[in-house]
Amino acid sequence: MSFHAMPCPRWRKSSRCGANGTCVEVAGHDDGIVFVRDGGADDTCLDFTAGEWRRFVAAVRRGTFDLH
What is the per-residue pLDDT across 19-68, written as a single tens digit (0 to 9) for each? 776 788 888 887 888 988 887 676 788 889 999 999 999 999 999 999 87
Number of domains in the chain: 1
- 18 falls within a domain: yes
Q: Which residues contact 29 (CB under 8 A, 6 or more apart)?
A: 8, 9, 35, 47
The DSSP call for residue 22 is -
Average pLDDT over residues 4-29: 74
Q: Which range of residues forms the domain containing residue 35?
A: 2-62
- 50 falls within a domain: yes
- 67 falls within a domain: no
Q: How confident is the model at residue 2 (pLDDT cuts 50, 70, 90)?
A: low
- 38 falls within a domain: yes
pLDDT at position 68: 75
- 58 falls within a domain: yes
Q: Model's pTM, two decimal places?
A: 0.68
pLDDT at position 15: 77
- 35 falls within a domain: yes
- 27 falls within a domain: yes
Give 35-40 contacts, CB < 8 A, sequence gap 24+. Answer: 35/4, 35/8, 35/9, 37/8, 37/11, 39/11, 39/13
- 68 falls within a domain: no
